Structure 1
Amino acid sequence: MALQYVEAQRQARPDLADAYADLADLYQRKLWHQLTLKLDHFLQLPAAQTGDTIIQLYNNFISDFETKINLLKLAHFAVIASRQYPDKDAAISFLEGVTTKLRETRERRIDEPVLYVKMQIAAINLEKGDQKECKKLLDEGKSTLDSMTDVDPTVHASFYWISSQYHKARQEFAEFYKNALLYLAYTTVESLSESFKLDLAFDLSLAALLGDNIYNFGELLAHPIINSLIGTKVEWVYHMLQAFNTGNLALYQELCKVHNAALSAQPALVQNERKLLEKINILCLMEIIFTRPSEDRTIPLSVIAERTKLSISDVEYLLMKSLSVHLIEGIIDEVDSTVHVSWVQPRVLGIPQVKALRERLDAWVGKVHTTLLSVEAETPDLETLADSRCVKRLVQ
């Protein structure tokens, strides 16, 4: 029956005739691995994306030998087929049928394919607006994922992508940011379309700016996906990230003026204007501390006030906020109006910051070298003094 279906499609679809012929040939020769690779290629063809082509192929052809091919690949094919269902409930029903068949195979490693399919069911539930069911499947998926070893990257990527979209729908910026970056850790940027990369880079940028307790932008700025913003209408958000990463308050204020219309089009940025100002002031504070030598970490509050354009009382609040979220450790001296900083949270540094750190290391090496020369210059005198004392003891 499977072969008859392919032959019928070869006649009915001249645009896919050669592809169907290859599938029929590999099926007759029972070359399951080669057939899997050919199917993988077939499902990516633009002509196969129309109508219910992939659904029919899965139900009338792939289902005939589904237990003979790699089960994770079978799960991939099922997920692709589910996307052609116009009715979301029908898609979920189809995928649930696939998970039932996967469990009936009694194969040892069915956790990966079942989890991959379940994440697509979670995604469809999210599209339906059923966040509760999506969260339930994500929690179950997290538990399964934590119990597994040597997991295929596509399974990890699927879980973290759906998780990121769940948090995006709930406007939980920090959680979206974390899960989207984990998704990228298991995905090659080259495999993503340009439009997808641009949308994801923009969403990640907004989440970094708005997310609670996100004060390190270096990791995002170092990721190749962020380059998708350059040369587009939303390039301003890239420069905004640069301003925050270096704590450059003046640049941030200038960008707000120049791109006021673009910023106004983002309700989340408008609603969190005060929060953004507080965050860049904190990053400005961290940059002030970072650029000072380690032996000069007692900073007058007036210095911070001048850089942040805040009053002394507001600077004290800023310091207490930074201490409370463990960005810095230190002691505020209200009598002398200073703060002594003993520790700053490590950050992923940009190229300018690395250059500044190198200059400080070079200065430190210079001081060590000067001290060494000084010690060497004093050594003969110390040796002479030691020898004279030894002689004196011998005489006595």
Structure 2
Amino acid sequence: MSGNAKVEAYLSSKKESSSGEISKKFAELEEFYNKKLWHQLTLGLVKLVKLPEMQQGTELLNLYSNLITEMENKINPLSLVELAAAIMKQYSDPKEAIAFVEKIRPKVVDHQESHVYCKVLIAQVTLRQLEDKEATKKLLDETEKMLDEIDGVTPTHGKFYQLASELYCLTGAHADYYRASLRYLGCSDPPTDPTERTQQAFYLGLAALLGEGIYNFGELLAHPILESLKGTNLEWLMRLLLAFNAGNINEFESMKPLWSSQPDLLAKEIELREKIRLLCLMEMTFKRKAFDRQLKFEEVAEETGLPINQVEVMVMRALSLDLVRGSIDQVEQKVNITWVQPRVLDKTQLAAMLERLNAWCDDVDSMQKLLEEQAAPILTL
């Protein structure tokens, strides 16, 4: 049987044997195929594979072998991979699913986004079904280099970062999970299910607190997904993130009965105290005017809750992490800070910055008036 006859027989059979909406869909596909309207046929197929009735048994596998395989060269690469993503789910053997995508991959290799999408699909099966974390990590590392070559932000970026965040969650890589999840949220909509949204917000909050090298909470605090914690028994996490962002040691201590109920946080209590003290130092520096950033050891000790003999070590730690820049005067027991690492600011911090900018503008205005008043005698010399 020729390819055309095979397709026509399949479409006619499905149109006659199906009921309701499915029969109507196949009638439309038959019309598009007969008229060689490949674009409309592709759009129809993308919609068809999403219908629950088609996701039963081997319906999609039959659709592929009887129709799609005969017109793959007429389907745009991204749509072909989108169809493959639905079809591969009907393979009971994960290795067969991977082999199926590997068969599709050479057909879209010249289209970078589609090629990356194929790699992500293979990595999905490798992680979720084969549970091979090491192989998944290798695949994602290879894919990320290809992803960086794609201009702009595409839906494939979202799929990549979603899978990367799943991997880092399973391996306990808090900082990597935090960064991947924020990138995922930056190019995809958050889950619509309230329970999933709350869970993702909770995991993100924990990752921000526990992630090594994460001292900027502003981007997470500004994201709407944290709103899903409000009104739940996890709302305390949002308060804790705000306390860390402000370097508020007292709030952190007062909330201990809440955050210590979370085993992961309790196990990292020493690291959490170090992190919030470093953030406290950054916030102290941020609040000071540019010409008034000499902090006495006593001031730092009082704000951070550290004994005065441990202040120097903490400041050295902040300098080594490049959170701040400056110098330590051991004789005078002072820290001279010239720079603090930029952060995403919340509304309170922005208001404080606005106040300082207004004060700076007033100073500049006063200097201008002074020069105008004193310029006449100088110019007549």
- Choose the corresponding residue for 1:273, options 266, 269, 275: 269
Q: CA deviation at 1:160?
A: 2.8
Query: In the alignment, is the contact (CA less than 8 A) between 2:191 and 2:197 conserved in 1?
Result: no
Instruction: Give the TM-score, by structure 1 length.
Output: 0.85
**Residue 283 (1) aligns with residue 279 (2):** yes
Following the alignment from structure 2 to structure 1, what is the Cα–Cα distance between the partners of residues 50 and 194?
A: 17
Following the alignment from structure 2 to structure 1, what is the Cα–Cα distance between the partners of residues 363 and 215?
A: 33
Give the match's secondary structure for 1:83.
helix
Following the alignment from structure 1 to structure 2, what is the Cα–Cα distance between the partners of residues 202 and 84?
A: 33
Name 2:119's counterpart in structure 1: 118
Give the match's secondary structure for 2:339.
strand
Name 1:85's counterpart in structure 2: 91
**Residue 4 (1) aligns with residue 4 (2):** no
Change (3 A) 1:382 1:110: closer
Following the alignment from structure 2 to structure 1, what is the Cα–Cα distance between the partners of residues 364 and 375?
A: 16
Q: CA deviation at 1:354?
A: 0.6
Name 1:379's counterpart in structure 2: 375
**Residue 310 (1) aligns with residue 311 (2):** no
Counterpart AA for 2:184: Y
Matches within 5 A, 1:191-202: 194-202=194-202
Q: CA deviation at 1:52?
A: 3.9
Q: CA deviation at 1:200?
A: 3.0
Query: In the alignment, is the contact (CA less than 8 A) between 2:119 and 2:139 conserved in 1?
Result: yes
Q: CA deviation at 1:218?
A: 1.1
- More divergent stretch after superposition (371-380 vs 60-69): 371-380
Q: CA deviation at 1:256?
A: 3.1
Counterpart AA for 2:256: C
Q: CA deviation at 1:363?
A: 1.1
Give the match's secondary structure for 1:56.
helix
Following the alignment from structure 1 to structure 2, what is the Cα–Cα distance between the partners of residues 81 and 239?
A: 44
Tell me which structure has the larger Cα radius of gyration.
1
Report Cα offsets for 1:3-43 as digits up to 9, x if no partner: 43344334234353333332232222221111222222233
Instruction: Give the TM-score, by structure 2 length.
Output: 0.88
RMSD: 2.5
Report Cα offsets for 1:370-389 as digits up to 9, x if no partner: 222223233344455x2xxx
Change (3 A) 1:152 1:286: closer
Query: In the alignment, is the contact (CA less than 8 A) between 2:178 and 2:208 conserved in 1?
Result: yes
Following the alignment from structure 1 to structure 2, what is the Cα–Cα distance between the partners of residues 229 and 206?
A: 13
Name 1:357's counterpart in structure 2: 353
- Choose the corresponding residue for 2:146, options 144, 147, 170: 144
Change (3 A) 1:34 1:183: same
Q: CA deviation at 1:100?
A: 4.6
Matches within 5 A, 1:173-252: 173-187=174-188, 189=189, 194-252=194-252
Query: In the alignment, is the contact (CA less than 8 A) between 1:15 and 1:47 conserved in 2?
Result: no
Name 2:20's counterpart in structure 1: 14
Following the alignment from structure 2 to structure 1, what is the Cα–Cα distance between the partners of residues 62 and 301?
A: 68
Q: CA deviation at 1:139?
A: 2.8
Name 1:392's counterpart in structure 2: none
Report Cα offsets for 1:105-141 as digits up to 9, x if no partner: xxxx244323211211112111222122212322332
Change (3 A) 1:149 1:12: closer
Q: CA deviation at 1:75?
A: 0.6
Name 1:131's counterpart in structure 2: 133
Counterpart AA for 2:313: Y
Name 1:325's counterpart in structure 2: 321
Name 2:72's counterpart in structure 1: 66
Following the alignment from structure 1 to structure 2, what is the Cα–Cα distance between the partners of residues 227 and 91?
A: 38
Give the match's secondary structure for 1:67.
helix
Q: CA deviation at 1:231?
A: 3.6
Give the match's secondary structure for 1:214.
coil
Matches within 5 A, 1:5-44: 5-10=10-15, 11-14=17-20, 16-44=22-50
Q: CA deviation at 1:63?
A: 2.1
Change (3 A) 1:238 1:39: farther
Counterpart AA for 1:239: R
Following the alignment from structure 1 to structure 2, what is the Cα–Cα distance between the partners of residues 9 and 233?
A: 51
Counterpart AA for 1:336: E
Give the match's secondary structure for 2:255.
helix
Q: CA deviation at 1:54?
A: 3.1
Counterpart AA for 1:268: D
**Residue 155 (1) aligns with residue 156 (2):** yes
- More divergent stretch after superposition (344-353 vs 94-103): 94-103
Q: CA deviation at 1:357?
A: 0.3
Name 2:3's counterpart in structure 1: none
Following the alignment from structure 1 to structure 2, what is the Cα–Cα distance between the partners of residues 223 and 151?
A: 21
Following the alignment from structure 1 to structure 2, what is the Cα–Cα distance between the partners of residues 195 and 85?
A: 29
Q: Which runs of 5+ in 2 are unaligned?
A: 1-5
Name 1:292's counterpart in structure 2: 288
Following the alignment from structure 1 to structure 2, what is the Cα–Cα distance between the partners of residues 246 and 328?
A: 16
Give the count of matched residue pairs: 374
Q: CA deviation at 1:172?
A: 1.3
Q: Which runs of 5+ in 1 are unaligned?
A: 104-108, 387-396
Give the match's secondary structure for 2:50.
coil
